Amino acid sequence: MLVTVDISDMKVSKRSDDILVTYSLGSCVALSLYDPVVGVGGLIHCMLPLSKIDPVKARANPYMFTDTGVQALLQAVFDMGAKRENLVTKVAGGARLLDSNNLFRIGERNYTVLRKVLWKNNILITSEDVRGTIARTVYLYMDTGKTTIKSGGKEVEL
């Protein structure tokens, strides 16, 4: 089943026939986690780097923010039996405009915060497709853990 992860949303699965997808990442970041041993995976689409910008909103929806969202996804896959040492970790998004000044660098800040949270959790990024000015769609195929990026009509494996 195709499971859509909206903007500021997270989905986890252990069904091998699921495909998790999140569409049109701009400066947002997507994190895909997959444990091939137990077949558990999850995908999150975070919009803004730090939850302190709106703590009320962060309590209502922690997935909107990279700091609270990444932590929530890790917890969710661990709760479903995934093990830290098995995790295949893929990252996409964090795009920017052509000549963004600092004010408009939400993408870079999202990426920095994401790395920091993963680092604190002793998790290394397996592969990534970040920055640039393109919009990206991310798929996580739950049967194999294959993660792909679709942009401008082309789908490539991450």
DSSP one-letter code for 85 = G
* Residue 154 makes contact with another protein by CB under 8 A: no
Beta bridge partners of 66: none
Cβ atoms < 10 Å from Cβ of 102: 7
| 132 contacts: CB under 8 Å, gap ≥ 6 | 95, 96
Instruction: With contacts defined by CB under 8 A, name the span among 36-44, 78-86, 101-109, 115-123 that binds another protein.
Output: 101-109
* Residue 102 makes contact with another protein by CB under 8 A: yes
Give the C-alpha separation, 46 to 25, whole Å. Answer: 9
Q: How far is the CB of 156 from another protein (least distance, A)?
A: 15
Q: How far is the CB of 121 from another protein (least distance, A)?
A: 24
SS3 142: coil
* Residue 8 makes contact with another protein by CB under 8 A: yes
State the residues that interact with another protein by CB under 8 A.
Answer: 7-8, 23-28, 47-49, 53-54, 57, 64, 95-107, 109, 133-135, 151-153
